[in-house]
Structure 1
Amino acid sequence: MAAANQTAVLEFSLQGFSEDPQLRGLLSTLFLLLYLVALVGNSLIVAAVSLSSGLHTPMYFFLVNLAILDIACTSTVLPKLLQGLVAPANTISYRGCLAQLFFLTWFLGAELLLLTAMAFDRYMAICRPLHYGTMMSWPLCTLLAMTVWMVSAISTSVHTGLMARLTFCGPNLIQHFLCEIPTLLLLSCSPTALNSVMIVIADVYFGVVNFLLTLASYGCIVASVLRIRSAAGKRRAFSTCSSHLLVVILYYSAVIYTYFLPGSGTSMENGKVVAVLYTAVSPALNPLIYTLRNKDVKAALWKVVPSSK
Protein backbone atom coordinates (compact mmCIF):
# COMPACT_ATOMS: atom_id res chain seq x y z
CA MET A 1 0.00 0.00 0.00
CA ALA A 2 1.39 3.43 -0.86
CA ALA A 3 2.65 5.73 1.85
CA ALA A 4 -0.24 8.13 1.28
CA ASN A 5 -2.70 5.36 1.95
CA GLN A 6 -1.12 3.92 5.09
CA THR A 7 -3.80 5.46 7.30
CA ALA A 8 -6.77 4.21 5.26
CA VAL A 9 -7.87 0.62 4.71
CA LEU A 10 -9.12 0.15 1.15
CA GLU A 11 -10.37 -3.41 1.59
CA PHE A 12 -11.07 -5.94 4.32
CA SER A 13 -10.35 -9.66 4.54
CA LEU A 14 -13.28 -11.79 5.65
CA GLN A 15 -12.60 -14.80 7.84
CA GLY A 16 -14.28 -17.90 6.45
CA PHE A 17 -15.38 -21.11 8.12
CA SER A 18 -12.48 -23.37 7.19
CA GLU A 19 -9.35 -23.66 5.07
CA ASP A 20 -10.01 -27.34 4.30
CA PRO A 21 -10.81 -27.57 0.54
CA GLN A 22 -13.19 -30.50 1.02
CA LEU A 23 -15.10 -28.77 3.82
CA ARG A 24 -15.24 -25.56 1.80
CA GLY A 25 -16.72 -27.49 -1.10
CA LEU A 26 -19.32 -29.06 1.18
CA LEU A 27 -20.19 -25.68 2.68
CA SER A 28 -20.48 -24.15 -0.79
CA THR A 29 -23.02 -26.80 -1.77
CA LEU A 30 -24.96 -26.37 1.47
CA PHE A 31 -25.15 -22.57 1.27
CA LEU A 32 -26.04 -22.66 -2.42
CA LEU A 33 -28.89 -25.06 -1.62
CA LEU A 34 -30.12 -22.83 1.22
CA TYR A 35 -29.94 -19.78 -1.04
CA LEU A 36 -31.94 -21.45 -3.81
CA VAL A 37 -34.54 -22.75 -1.35
CA ALA A 38 -34.91 -19.26 0.16
CA LEU A 39 -35.26 -17.60 -3.24
CA VAL A 40 -37.70 -20.13 -4.68
CA GLY A 41 -39.74 -20.61 -1.50
CA ASN A 42 -40.21 -16.92 -0.74
CA SER A 43 -40.85 -16.06 -4.40
CA LEU A 44 -43.60 -18.68 -4.48
CA ILE A 45 -45.13 -17.15 -1.34
CA VAL A 46 -45.19 -13.72 -2.99
CA ALA A 47 -46.66 -15.15 -6.20
CA ALA A 48 -49.28 -17.27 -4.41
CA VAL A 49 -50.56 -14.40 -2.27
CA SER A 50 -50.50 -11.92 -5.16
CA LEU A 51 -52.42 -14.18 -7.54
CA SER A 52 -54.97 -15.55 -5.06
CA SER A 53 -57.73 -13.11 -4.19
CA GLY A 54 -58.67 -15.23 -1.18
CA LEU A 55 -55.31 -14.41 0.41
CA HIS A 56 -55.66 -10.65 0.09
CA THR A 57 -55.93 -10.16 3.85
CA PRO A 58 -53.72 -8.30 6.35
CA MET A 59 -52.07 -11.50 7.59
CA TYR A 60 -50.88 -12.51 4.13
CA PHE A 61 -50.01 -8.93 3.22
CA PHE A 62 -47.50 -8.93 6.08
CA LEU A 63 -46.37 -12.41 5.06
CA VAL A 64 -45.48 -11.07 1.60
CA ASN A 65 -43.43 -8.31 3.22
CA LEU A 66 -41.65 -10.95 5.31
CA ALA A 67 -40.91 -13.02 2.19
CA ILE A 68 -39.48 -9.95 0.40
CA LEU A 69 -37.30 -9.17 3.42
CA ASP A 70 -36.04 -12.76 3.52
CA ILE A 71 -35.10 -12.64 -0.16
CA ALA A 72 -33.32 -9.32 0.30
CA CYS A 73 -31.52 -10.37 3.48
CA THR A 74 -30.16 -13.65 2.15
CA SER A 75 -29.20 -12.01 -1.17
CA THR A 76 -27.15 -9.44 0.74
CA VAL A 77 -24.98 -12.09 2.38
CA LEU A 78 -24.95 -15.46 0.61
CA PRO A 79 -23.61 -14.46 -2.84
CA LYS A 80 -20.53 -12.91 -1.21
CA LEU A 81 -20.21 -15.87 1.14
CA LEU A 82 -20.33 -18.31 -1.77
CA GLN A 83 -17.74 -16.26 -3.64
CA GLY A 84 -15.44 -16.36 -0.63
CA LEU A 85 -15.74 -20.15 -0.37
CA VAL A 86 -14.62 -20.74 -3.96
CA ALA A 87 -12.15 -17.86 -4.40
CA PRO A 88 -8.53 -18.10 -3.17
CA ALA A 89 -8.77 -14.74 -1.37
CA ASN A 90 -11.90 -13.69 0.52
CA THR A 91 -11.79 -9.88 0.46
CA ILE A 92 -14.33 -7.09 0.27
CA SER A 93 -13.77 -3.44 -0.57
CA TYR A 94 -14.32 -0.72 2.02
CA ARG A 95 -17.35 0.63 0.13
CA GLY A 96 -18.66 -2.88 -0.48
CA CYS A 97 -18.37 -3.62 3.22
CA LEU A 98 -20.33 -0.50 4.16
CA ALA A 99 -22.95 -1.31 1.53
CA GLN A 100 -23.39 -4.85 2.90
CA LEU A 101 -23.56 -3.46 6.44
CA PHE A 102 -26.23 -0.94 5.42
CA PHE A 103 -28.54 -3.36 3.64
CA LEU A 104 -28.10 -6.20 6.14
CA THR A 105 -28.81 -3.92 9.12
CA TRP A 106 -31.77 -2.40 7.27
CA PHE A 107 -33.39 -5.74 6.49
CA LEU A 108 -32.70 -7.25 9.93
CA GLY A 109 -34.19 -4.25 11.70
CA ALA A 110 -37.20 -4.18 9.39
CA GLU A 111 -37.83 -7.88 10.03
CA LEU A 112 -37.88 -7.33 13.79
CA LEU A 113 -40.41 -4.51 13.37
CA LEU A 114 -42.46 -6.58 10.93
CA LEU A 115 -42.66 -9.50 13.36
CA THR A 116 -44.12 -7.08 15.91
CA ALA A 117 -46.68 -5.83 13.38
CA MET A 118 -47.61 -9.44 12.56
CA ALA A 119 -48.03 -10.22 16.26
CA PHE A 120 -50.35 -7.21 16.60
CA ASP A 121 -52.37 -8.46 13.61
CA ARG A 122 -52.79 -11.89 15.24
CA TYR A 123 -53.73 -10.21 18.54
CA MET A 124 -56.49 -8.24 16.82
CA ALA A 125 -57.73 -11.31 14.93
CA ILE A 126 -57.98 -13.55 18.01
CA CYS A 127 -58.57 -11.16 20.92
CA ARG A 128 -60.65 -8.50 19.13
CA PRO A 129 -62.35 -10.38 16.29
CA LEU A 130 -65.39 -8.08 16.16
CA HIS A 131 -63.17 -5.04 15.62
CA TYR A 132 -60.62 -6.76 13.37
CA GLY A 133 -62.13 -5.68 10.05
CA THR A 134 -62.36 -2.08 11.17
CA MET A 135 -59.00 -1.79 12.92
CA MET A 136 -56.85 -3.71 10.43
CA SER A 137 -57.95 -1.72 7.40
CA TRP A 138 -55.82 -1.57 4.26
CA PRO A 139 -54.72 2.03 4.92
CA LEU A 140 -53.50 1.03 8.39
CA CYS A 141 -51.76 -2.11 7.10
CA THR A 142 -50.04 -0.10 4.37
CA LEU A 143 -48.99 2.52 6.91
CA LEU A 144 -47.58 -0.16 9.22
CA ALA A 145 -45.61 -1.75 6.38
CA MET A 146 -44.23 1.60 5.23
CA THR A 147 -43.28 2.48 8.81
CA VAL A 148 -41.45 -0.83 9.19
CA TRP A 149 -39.30 -0.18 6.11
CA MET A 150 -38.75 3.54 6.72
CA VAL A 151 -37.92 3.44 10.45
CA SER A 152 -35.35 0.71 9.90
CA ALA A 153 -33.89 2.58 6.91
CA ILE A 154 -33.51 5.78 8.94
CA SER A 155 -31.86 3.94 11.83
CA THR A 156 -29.51 2.12 9.46
CA SER A 157 -28.58 5.36 7.70
CA VAL A 158 -27.53 6.85 11.05
CA HIS A 159 -25.40 3.80 11.93
CA THR A 160 -23.79 3.65 8.48
CA GLY A 161 -23.06 7.37 8.56
CA LEU A 162 -21.40 7.03 11.98
CA MET A 163 -19.41 4.07 10.69
CA ALA A 164 -18.26 6.00 7.60
CA ARG A 165 -16.74 8.73 9.76
CA LEU A 166 -14.40 6.24 11.47
CA THR A 167 -10.82 5.64 10.40
CA PHE A 168 -9.52 2.14 9.71
CA CYS A 169 -5.74 2.02 9.67
CA GLY A 170 -5.12 -1.69 10.16
CA PRO A 171 -5.48 -4.56 10.83
CA ASN A 172 -8.09 -5.30 8.18
CA LEU A 173 -9.12 -8.86 9.07
CA ILE A 174 -12.83 -9.10 9.93
CA GLN A 175 -13.33 -12.13 12.15
CA HIS A 176 -16.61 -12.94 10.45
CA PHE A 177 -17.90 -13.94 7.01
CA LEU A 178 -19.88 -10.69 6.66
CA CYS A 179 -19.67 -7.00 7.53
CA GLU A 180 -21.55 -6.14 10.70
CA ILE A 181 -21.32 -3.14 13.00
CA PRO A 182 -19.86 -4.94 16.09
CA THR A 183 -17.05 -6.65 14.15
CA LEU A 184 -16.12 -3.50 12.22
CA LEU A 185 -15.91 -1.39 15.38
CA LEU A 186 -13.21 -3.73 16.68
CA LEU A 187 -10.97 -2.72 13.75
CA SER A 188 -11.39 1.05 13.98
CA CYS A 189 -8.55 3.22 15.27
CA SER A 190 -10.96 6.12 15.91
CA PRO A 191 -13.04 6.73 19.06
CA THR A 192 -16.19 4.60 18.85
CA ALA A 193 -18.05 5.82 21.95
CA LEU A 194 -20.85 7.48 19.94
CA ASN A 195 -21.24 4.39 17.78
CA SER A 196 -21.51 2.21 20.88
CA VAL A 197 -24.17 4.46 22.42
CA MET A 198 -26.24 4.38 19.23
CA ILE A 199 -25.90 0.60 19.09
CA VAL A 200 -27.27 0.30 22.62
CA ILE A 201 -30.21 2.58 21.75
CA ALA A 202 -30.95 0.57 18.60
CA ASP A 203 -30.64 -2.75 20.45
CA VAL A 204 -33.06 -1.57 23.12
CA TYR A 205 -35.61 -0.37 20.58
CA PHE A 206 -35.38 -3.04 17.90
CA GLY A 207 -34.56 -5.93 20.19
CA VAL A 208 -35.93 -5.36 23.69
CA VAL A 209 -38.96 -3.11 23.05
CA ASN A 210 -40.21 -5.05 20.02
CA PHE A 211 -39.60 -8.36 21.75
CA LEU A 212 -41.63 -7.22 24.76
CA LEU A 213 -44.45 -5.95 22.51
CA THR A 214 -44.49 -9.28 20.65
CA LEU A 215 -44.41 -11.16 23.95
CA ALA A 216 -47.29 -9.06 25.30
CA SER A 217 -49.34 -9.75 22.16
CA TYR A 218 -48.87 -13.48 22.49
CA GLY A 219 -49.54 -13.36 26.22
CA CYS A 220 -52.94 -11.82 25.45
CA ILE A 221 -53.48 -14.35 22.65
CA VAL A 222 -52.75 -17.33 24.92
CA ALA A 223 -55.02 -15.96 27.64
CA SER A 224 -57.79 -15.42 25.10
CA VAL A 225 -57.41 -18.89 23.60
CA LEU A 226 -57.50 -20.57 27.00
CA ARG A 227 -60.89 -18.96 27.60
CA ILE A 228 -62.30 -20.73 24.53
CA ARG A 229 -64.36 -23.67 25.73
CA SER A 230 -64.29 -25.98 22.71
CA ALA A 231 -61.11 -27.93 21.90
CA ALA A 232 -61.70 -27.38 18.18
CA GLY A 233 -61.87 -23.62 18.72
CA LYS A 234 -58.62 -23.66 20.67
CA ARG A 235 -56.84 -25.65 17.96
CA ARG A 236 -58.13 -23.34 15.24
CA ALA A 237 -57.03 -20.23 17.17
CA PHE A 238 -53.57 -21.62 17.93
CA SER A 239 -53.08 -22.76 14.33
CA THR A 240 -53.43 -19.19 13.08
CA CYS A 241 -50.49 -17.94 15.15
CA SER A 242 -48.30 -20.99 15.85
CA SER A 243 -46.30 -20.57 12.63
CA HIS A 244 -45.57 -16.92 13.35
CA LEU A 245 -44.61 -17.72 16.94
CA LEU A 246 -42.12 -20.35 15.73
CA VAL A 247 -40.54 -17.81 13.36
CA VAL A 248 -40.34 -15.24 16.18
CA ILE A 249 -38.57 -17.69 18.50
CA LEU A 250 -36.07 -18.77 15.84
CA TYR A 251 -35.30 -15.25 14.68
CA TYR A 252 -35.03 -13.56 18.06
CA SER A 253 -32.86 -16.37 19.45
CA ALA A 254 -30.30 -15.84 16.69
CA VAL A 255 -30.34 -12.03 16.78
CA ILE A 256 -30.16 -11.77 20.59
CA TYR A 257 -27.21 -14.17 20.69
CA THR A 258 -25.37 -12.18 18.04
CA TYR A 259 -25.92 -8.65 19.33
CA PHE A 260 -26.14 -9.12 23.10
CA LEU A 261 -23.31 -11.59 23.79
CA PRO A 262 -19.61 -10.67 23.69
CA GLY A 263 -18.00 -11.23 20.29
CA SER A 264 -14.76 -12.83 21.37
CA GLY A 265 -13.17 -16.24 21.78
CA THR A 266 -15.42 -19.20 21.18
CA SER A 267 -18.48 -16.94 21.12
CA MET A 268 -17.10 -15.35 17.93
CA GLU A 269 -16.93 -18.74 16.24
CA ASN A 270 -20.40 -19.59 17.50
CA GLY A 271 -21.53 -16.19 16.26
CA LYS A 272 -20.74 -17.24 12.69
CA VAL A 273 -23.00 -20.25 13.04
CA VAL A 274 -25.76 -18.16 14.59
CA ALA A 275 -25.43 -15.55 11.82
CA VAL A 276 -26.05 -18.34 9.33
CA LEU A 277 -29.36 -18.99 11.08
CA TYR A 278 -30.81 -15.55 10.41
CA THR A 279 -29.15 -14.93 7.03
CA ALA A 280 -29.58 -18.36 5.41
CA VAL A 281 -31.49 -20.95 7.46
CA SER A 282 -34.36 -18.74 8.63
CA PRO A 283 -35.13 -17.33 5.13
CA ALA A 284 -35.14 -20.88 3.78
CA LEU A 285 -37.32 -22.28 6.58
CA ASN A 286 -39.90 -19.47 6.79
CA PRO A 287 -41.78 -20.47 3.59
CA LEU A 288 -41.96 -24.06 4.85
CA ILE A 289 -43.11 -23.02 8.31
CA TYR A 290 -45.89 -20.84 6.91
CA THR A 291 -47.11 -23.35 4.32
CA LEU A 292 -46.89 -26.79 5.97
CA ARG A 293 -49.81 -26.05 8.34
CA ASN A 294 -51.65 -23.53 6.19
CA LYS A 295 -54.20 -25.09 3.85
CA ASP A 296 -55.04 -21.79 2.15
CA VAL A 297 -51.42 -21.08 1.17
CA LYS A 298 -50.86 -24.67 0.03
CA ALA A 299 -53.96 -24.49 -2.15
CA ALA A 300 -52.78 -21.19 -3.65
CA LEU A 301 -49.31 -22.63 -4.29
CA TRP A 302 -50.79 -25.59 -6.18
CA LYS A 303 -52.51 -23.08 -8.44
CA VAL A 304 -49.30 -21.14 -9.01
CA VAL A 305 -46.92 -24.04 -9.67
CA PRO A 306 -48.88 -25.67 -12.54
CA SER A 307 -49.39 -22.28 -14.18
CA SER A 308 -45.63 -21.71 -14.23
CA LYS A 309 -44.90 -24.90 -16.14
Structure 2
Amino acid sequence: MLGCIFQYFYTSFLRFWLKWLLRQLTGKCELQRICAGYKAAAGRTARAEYSLESSKSKLLRASVTAEEDAVEDYVEKIIKEKNVKEQKDPTFKKNLSICLLQITGYKNLYQCVEELRKEVFDCEKEEHENMLLKLWDLLMPSTKLESRVTKQWGDIGFQGDDPKTDFRGMGMLGLTNLVFFSENYTEASRQVLSHANHPKLGYSYAIVGINLTEMAYSLLKSGALKPHFYNCVEGRPQMKHFHQLYCYLAYEFNKFWIQEEPESIMEFNLYREKFHEKVKRLLLDPDVTLILKVDSTN
Protein backbone atom coordinates (compact mmCIF):
# COMPACT_ATOMS: atom_id res chain seq x y z
CA MET A 1 0.00 0.00 0.00
CA LEU A 2 2.77 2.46 0.95
CA GLY A 3 4.58 1.59 -2.28
CA CYS A 4 1.48 2.40 -4.33
CA ILE A 5 1.02 5.70 -2.50
CA PHE A 6 4.65 6.67 -3.10
CA GLN A 7 4.42 5.67 -6.77
CA TYR A 8 1.33 7.83 -7.21
CA PHE A 9 2.94 10.75 -5.41
CA TYR A 10 6.14 10.36 -7.46
CA THR A 11 4.46 10.16 -10.86
CA SER A 12 1.90 12.88 -10.11
CA PHE A 13 4.02 15.47 -8.33
CA LEU A 14 7.61 14.66 -7.41
CA ARG A 15 8.74 13.51 -10.86
CA PHE A 16 7.61 16.76 -12.50
CA TRP A 17 9.52 18.95 -10.05
CA LEU A 18 12.56 16.71 -10.13
CA LYS A 19 12.68 16.94 -13.93
CA TRP A 20 12.25 20.73 -13.74
CA LEU A 21 15.08 21.04 -11.22
CA LEU A 22 17.46 18.90 -13.27
CA ARG A 23 16.64 20.91 -16.38
CA GLN A 24 17.58 24.10 -14.56
CA LEU A 25 20.82 22.58 -13.28
CA THR A 26 21.94 20.86 -16.51
CA GLY A 27 20.24 22.90 -19.22
CA LYS A 28 18.98 19.64 -20.74
CA CYS A 29 15.57 18.00 -20.82
CA GLU A 30 15.08 14.47 -19.49
CA LEU A 31 15.32 12.88 -22.95
CA GLN A 32 18.63 14.64 -23.58
CA ARG A 33 20.00 13.40 -20.27
CA ILE A 34 18.90 9.86 -21.08
CA CYS A 35 20.36 9.87 -24.59
CA ALA A 36 23.66 11.30 -23.36
CA GLY A 37 23.93 9.32 -20.15
CA TYR A 38 23.36 5.76 -21.38
CA LYS A 39 24.91 3.65 -24.12
CA ALA A 40 22.86 2.71 -27.17
CA ALA A 41 21.09 -0.35 -25.80
CA ALA A 42 18.17 -1.43 -23.63
CA GLY A 43 19.15 0.84 -20.75
CA ARG A 44 18.77 3.94 -22.88
CA THR A 45 15.73 2.89 -24.89
CA ALA A 46 13.75 1.61 -21.89
CA ARG A 47 14.30 4.88 -20.03
CA ALA A 48 13.39 6.92 -23.10
CA GLU A 49 10.22 4.84 -23.51
CA TYR A 50 9.19 5.46 -19.90
CA SER A 51 9.92 9.17 -20.26
CA LEU A 52 7.85 9.46 -23.42
CA GLU A 53 4.91 7.42 -22.12
CA SER A 54 4.89 9.32 -18.80
CA SER A 55 5.04 12.75 -20.40
CA LYS A 56 2.23 15.25 -19.98
CA SER A 57 2.76 16.14 -23.66
CA LYS A 58 0.37 14.47 -26.09
CA LEU A 59 3.02 14.71 -28.78
CA LEU A 60 5.57 12.77 -26.76
CA ARG A 61 3.06 10.12 -25.71
CA ALA A 62 1.91 9.70 -29.30
CA SER A 63 5.46 9.26 -30.59
CA VAL A 64 5.78 5.74 -29.13
CA THR A 65 3.10 4.48 -31.54
CA ALA A 66 4.37 6.30 -34.64
CA GLU A 67 4.66 4.53 -37.98
CA GLU A 68 8.20 3.98 -39.24
CA ASP A 69 8.00 6.71 -41.87
CA ALA A 70 6.75 9.19 -39.24
CA VAL A 71 9.52 8.68 -36.66
CA GLU A 72 11.84 11.36 -38.03
CA ASP A 73 8.96 13.84 -38.12
CA TYR A 74 8.19 13.11 -34.47
CA VAL A 75 11.85 13.56 -33.57
CA GLU A 76 11.86 16.98 -35.20
CA LYS A 77 8.69 17.98 -33.36
CA ILE A 78 10.08 16.73 -30.03
CA ILE A 79 13.26 18.75 -30.56
CA LYS A 80 11.15 21.82 -31.21
CA GLU A 81 8.76 21.25 -28.29
CA LYS A 82 11.62 20.59 -25.86
CA ASN A 83 13.58 23.53 -27.23
CA VAL A 84 16.67 21.41 -27.81
CA LYS A 85 19.62 23.29 -29.31
CA GLU A 86 21.06 20.81 -31.78
CA GLN A 87 24.35 22.73 -32.01
CA LYS A 88 24.94 22.13 -28.31
CA ASP A 89 23.74 18.50 -28.43
CA PRO A 90 24.59 17.18 -31.93
CA THR A 91 24.05 13.48 -31.10
CA PHE A 92 20.60 13.86 -29.55
CA LYS A 93 18.62 13.65 -32.79
CA LYS A 94 20.28 10.42 -33.93
CA ASN A 95 20.07 8.80 -30.51
CA LEU A 96 16.42 9.66 -30.02
CA SER A 97 15.64 8.39 -33.52
CA ILE A 98 17.18 5.01 -32.70
CA CYS A 99 15.20 4.83 -29.46
CA LEU A 100 11.93 5.62 -31.22
CA LEU A 101 12.61 3.12 -34.00
CA GLN A 102 13.19 0.42 -31.41
CA ILE A 103 10.14 1.37 -29.33
CA THR A 104 7.71 1.63 -32.25
CA GLY A 105 9.34 -1.36 -33.94
CA TYR A 106 8.66 -3.60 -30.96
CA LYS A 107 4.99 -2.64 -30.99
CA ASN A 108 4.80 -3.22 -34.75
CA LEU A 109 6.57 -6.57 -34.41
CA TYR A 110 3.96 -7.73 -31.92
CA GLN A 111 1.20 -6.80 -34.37
CA CYS A 112 2.90 -8.76 -37.18
CA VAL A 113 3.44 -11.78 -34.94
CA GLU A 114 -0.18 -11.63 -33.81
CA GLU A 115 -1.40 -11.55 -37.41
CA LEU A 116 0.66 -14.63 -38.30
CA ARG A 117 -0.55 -16.40 -35.16
CA LYS A 118 -4.15 -15.77 -36.17
CA GLU A 119 -3.57 -17.07 -39.70
CA VAL A 120 -5.08 -20.56 -39.72
CA PHE A 121 -3.19 -23.37 -41.45
CA ASP A 122 -5.23 -24.17 -44.56
CA CYS A 123 -4.43 -27.35 -46.46
CA GLU A 124 -6.24 -25.85 -49.46
CA LYS A 125 -3.55 -23.16 -49.72
CA GLU A 126 -0.57 -24.27 -51.75
CA GLU A 127 1.76 -21.95 -49.83
CA HIS A 128 0.82 -23.55 -46.51
CA GLU A 129 1.11 -27.09 -47.84
CA ASN A 130 4.49 -26.40 -49.45
CA MET A 131 5.82 -25.00 -46.19
CA LEU A 132 4.72 -28.11 -44.30
CA LEU A 133 6.33 -30.42 -46.87
CA LYS A 134 9.46 -28.30 -46.78
CA LEU A 135 9.70 -28.90 -43.04
CA TRP A 136 9.71 -32.65 -43.65
CA ASP A 137 12.35 -32.42 -46.39
CA LEU A 138 14.62 -30.29 -44.19
CA LEU A 139 14.39 -32.58 -41.19
CA MET A 140 14.17 -35.95 -42.97
CA PRO A 141 16.13 -35.51 -46.22
CA SER A 142 16.79 -39.24 -46.68
CA THR A 143 13.23 -40.38 -46.02
CA LYS A 144 10.46 -39.89 -48.53
CA LEU A 145 7.02 -38.97 -47.25
CA GLU A 146 4.69 -41.77 -48.33
CA SER A 147 1.59 -39.56 -48.49
CA ARG A 148 0.29 -36.24 -47.23
CA VAL A 149 -1.68 -37.91 -44.43
CA THR A 150 0.49 -40.52 -42.80
CA LYS A 151 1.77 -41.82 -39.47
CA GLN A 152 5.24 -40.71 -40.60
CA TRP A 153 4.53 -37.23 -39.27
CA GLY A 154 5.00 -38.73 -35.82
CA ASP A 155 8.69 -39.16 -36.68
CA ILE A 156 9.16 -35.40 -36.41
CA GLY A 157 6.89 -35.01 -33.42
CA PHE A 158 3.37 -34.34 -34.66
CA GLN A 159 0.51 -35.96 -32.77
CA GLY A 160 -1.61 -37.41 -35.55
CA ASP A 161 -1.54 -38.44 -39.18
CA ASP A 162 -2.29 -34.87 -40.33
CA PRO A 163 -0.23 -32.06 -38.75
CA LYS A 164 -2.81 -29.40 -39.58
CA THR A 165 -4.66 -30.09 -36.32
CA ASP A 166 -1.54 -29.30 -34.27
CA PHE A 167 -1.30 -25.72 -35.52
CA ARG A 168 -4.62 -24.58 -34.04
CA GLY A 169 -3.14 -22.71 -31.07
CA MET A 170 -0.35 -20.81 -32.82
CA GLY A 171 -1.57 -20.92 -36.41
CA MET A 172 1.00 -20.29 -39.14
CA LEU A 173 3.34 -18.75 -36.58
CA GLY A 174 4.09 -22.21 -35.21
CA LEU A 175 4.86 -23.69 -38.62
CA THR A 176 6.88 -20.68 -39.75
CA ASN A 177 9.10 -20.93 -36.67
CA LEU A 178 9.69 -24.65 -37.20
CA VAL A 179 10.65 -24.10 -40.84
CA PHE A 180 12.85 -21.09 -40.02
CA PHE A 181 14.84 -23.12 -37.49
CA SER A 182 15.23 -26.04 -39.90
CA GLU A 183 16.16 -23.82 -42.85
CA ASN A 184 18.60 -21.48 -41.11
CA TYR A 185 20.09 -23.89 -38.56
CA THR A 186 19.65 -27.16 -40.44
CA GLU A 187 22.27 -29.23 -38.64
CA ALA A 188 21.24 -27.89 -35.22
CA SER A 189 17.55 -28.62 -35.88
CA ARG A 190 18.35 -32.19 -36.98
CA GLN A 191 20.50 -32.59 -33.89
CA VAL A 192 17.60 -31.44 -31.69
CA LEU A 193 15.25 -33.81 -33.54
CA SER A 194 17.59 -36.74 -32.90
CA HIS A 195 17.61 -35.87 -29.20
CA ALA A 196 13.82 -35.58 -29.23
CA ASN A 197 13.65 -39.13 -30.61
CA HIS A 198 15.80 -40.53 -27.81
CA PRO A 199 14.18 -43.73 -26.41
CA LYS A 200 14.36 -42.51 -22.80
CA LEU A 201 14.62 -38.70 -22.88
CA GLY A 202 12.58 -38.14 -26.01
CA TYR A 203 9.76 -35.67 -26.57
CA SER A 204 7.51 -34.66 -29.46
CA TYR A 205 9.76 -32.35 -31.47
CA ALA A 206 7.09 -30.47 -33.46
CA ILE A 207 4.56 -30.25 -30.63
CA VAL A 208 7.20 -28.92 -28.23
CA GLY A 209 8.33 -26.50 -30.95
CA ILE A 210 4.82 -25.11 -31.24
CA ASN A 211 4.65 -24.90 -27.45
CA LEU A 212 7.90 -22.89 -27.46
CA THR A 213 6.39 -20.62 -30.09
CA GLU A 214 3.63 -19.89 -27.58
CA MET A 215 6.31 -19.13 -24.99
CA ALA A 216 8.06 -16.70 -27.34
CA TYR A 217 4.72 -15.10 -28.21
CA SER A 218 3.73 -14.62 -24.56
CA LEU A 219 7.12 -13.10 -23.73
CA LEU A 220 6.77 -10.70 -26.65
CA LYS A 221 3.20 -9.77 -25.69
CA SER A 222 4.13 -9.06 -22.07
CA GLY A 223 7.03 -6.81 -23.08
CA ALA A 224 9.58 -9.13 -21.45
CA LEU A 225 11.55 -9.35 -24.71
CA LYS A 226 12.18 -5.62 -24.92
CA PRO A 227 15.68 -5.77 -23.33
CA HIS A 228 16.70 -8.52 -25.76
CA PHE A 229 15.50 -6.71 -28.88
CA TYR A 230 16.68 -3.28 -27.71
CA ASN A 231 20.16 -4.78 -27.21
CA CYS A 232 20.27 -6.84 -30.40
CA VAL A 233 18.65 -4.63 -33.02
CA GLU A 234 19.69 -1.04 -33.67
CA GLY A 235 16.42 0.06 -35.19
CA ARG A 236 13.12 -1.69 -35.78
CA PRO A 237 13.06 -5.42 -34.97
CA GLN A 238 11.66 -7.50 -37.81
CA MET A 239 9.91 -10.87 -38.00
CA LYS A 240 13.24 -12.59 -38.67
CA HIS A 241 14.46 -11.40 -35.27
CA PHE A 242 11.46 -13.03 -33.60
CA HIS A 243 12.11 -16.26 -35.50
CA GLN A 244 15.75 -16.15 -34.37
CA LEU A 245 14.59 -15.78 -30.77
CA TYR A 246 12.45 -18.89 -31.26
CA CYS A 247 15.51 -20.77 -32.55
CA TYR A 248 17.35 -19.86 -29.37
CA LEU A 249 14.47 -21.20 -27.26
CA ALA A 250 14.19 -24.43 -29.26
CA TYR A 251 17.91 -25.16 -29.03
CA GLU A 252 18.29 -24.17 -25.39
CA PHE A 253 15.17 -26.04 -24.27
CA ASN A 254 16.58 -29.22 -25.79
CA LYS A 255 19.81 -28.76 -23.82
CA PHE A 256 17.83 -27.99 -20.67
CA TRP A 257 15.61 -31.05 -21.08
CA ILE A 258 18.57 -33.39 -21.53
CA GLN A 259 20.45 -31.91 -18.57
CA GLU A 260 17.41 -32.19 -16.30
CA GLU A 261 16.73 -35.81 -17.31
CA PRO A 262 12.96 -35.92 -16.61
CA GLU A 263 11.48 -39.27 -15.65
CA SER A 264 9.07 -39.16 -18.58
CA ILE A 265 7.30 -36.91 -21.06
CA MET A 266 4.46 -36.71 -18.53
CA GLU A 267 6.61 -34.19 -16.65
CA PHE A 268 6.81 -31.88 -19.65
CA ASN A 269 4.66 -29.10 -18.19
CA LEU A 270 6.78 -28.99 -15.04
CA TYR A 271 10.05 -28.67 -16.92
CA ARG A 272 8.56 -26.36 -19.49
CA GLU A 273 7.64 -23.96 -16.69
CA LYS A 274 11.08 -24.29 -15.12
CA PHE A 275 12.65 -23.39 -18.45
CA HIS A 276 10.20 -20.49 -18.86
CA GLU A 277 11.20 -19.12 -15.46
CA LYS A 278 14.87 -19.48 -16.38
CA VAL A 279 14.36 -17.42 -19.55
CA LYS A 280 12.39 -14.75 -17.67
CA ARG A 281 15.23 -14.45 -15.16
CA LEU A 282 17.71 -13.96 -18.00
CA LEU A 283 15.51 -11.21 -19.42
CA LEU A 284 15.74 -9.26 -16.16
CA ASP A 285 19.36 -8.49 -17.05
CA PRO A 286 19.36 -5.12 -18.88
CA ASP A 287 22.30 -6.32 -21.00
CA VAL A 288 20.66 -9.60 -22.04
CA THR A 289 20.97 -10.99 -25.58
CA LEU A 290 19.37 -14.37 -26.24
CA ILE A 291 21.43 -15.38 -29.25
CA LEU A 292 21.64 -18.97 -30.46
CA LYS A 293 25.18 -20.34 -30.18
CA VAL A 294 25.43 -23.84 -31.58
CA ASP A 295 27.68 -26.17 -29.61
CA SER A 296 29.89 -27.87 -32.18
CA THR A 297 30.83 -30.60 -29.71
CA ASN A 298 27.32 -32.11 -29.67
TM-score (norm 1): 0.24
Name whichever structure is richer in helix by fraction.
1
TM-score (norm 2): 0.25
